[in-house]
């Protein structure tokens, strides 16, 4: 095996180990909260690309949002595992809110077990407001 392959293998192994430790630590401090606002976009990722898995749901709150106290995640995008919205009910509700330009309350979690993209929160529920 070449020296380069050994170095790459070592880097990959260390990255996986550190990722595992991060997941264990992050899961111990997982939190949930809610945010209210208007949506900038709603998307379903169709292919495994740029760190995304096919079928994941992604939303952006117009103007970003304030991350709820005790949570740790990106304040622009919320990316949810396909398995969390397998029946596409949240996608349908959020699409209606976007098209009707209605505000929504998004219930989010930073629990790595439901987070689809590192550093981003995941949707666990959504409500359409008047």
Query: E strand or H helix at 126, and its extent?
Result: strand 122-128
Q: Identify the residue with better confidence: 50 or 78.
A: 78
**What is the residue extent of each domain of the chain?**
1-30, 31-128
Model's pTM, two decimal places? 0.74
Task: List the beta strands (DSSP E) in 14-121.
Answer: 32-37, 39-44, 57-61, 77-80, 104-109
Per-residue pLDDT tens digits for 16-72: 444 444 444 444 568 999 999 999 999 998 888 877 788 899 999 999 999 999 999
Domain formed by 31-128, architecture: Beta Barrel (2.40)
């Amino acid at each position: 095996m070449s020296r380069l392959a050994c170095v790459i293998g070592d880097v990959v192994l260390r990255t996986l180990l550190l990722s595992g430790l991060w997941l264990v630590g992050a899961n111990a401090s997982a939190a949930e909260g809610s945010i209210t606002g208007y949506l900038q976009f709603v998307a379903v990722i169709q292919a495994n690309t740029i760190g995304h898995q096919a079928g994941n749901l992604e939303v952006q709150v117009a103007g970003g949002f304030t991350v709820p106290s005790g949570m740790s995640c990106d304040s622009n995008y919320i990316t949810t595992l396909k398995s969390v919205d397998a029946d596409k009910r949240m996608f349908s509700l959020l699409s209606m809110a976007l098209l009707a330009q209605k505000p929504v309350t998004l219930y989010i979690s930073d629990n790595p077990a439901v987070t689809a993209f590192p550093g981003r929160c995941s949707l666990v529920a959504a409500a359409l407001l008047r």
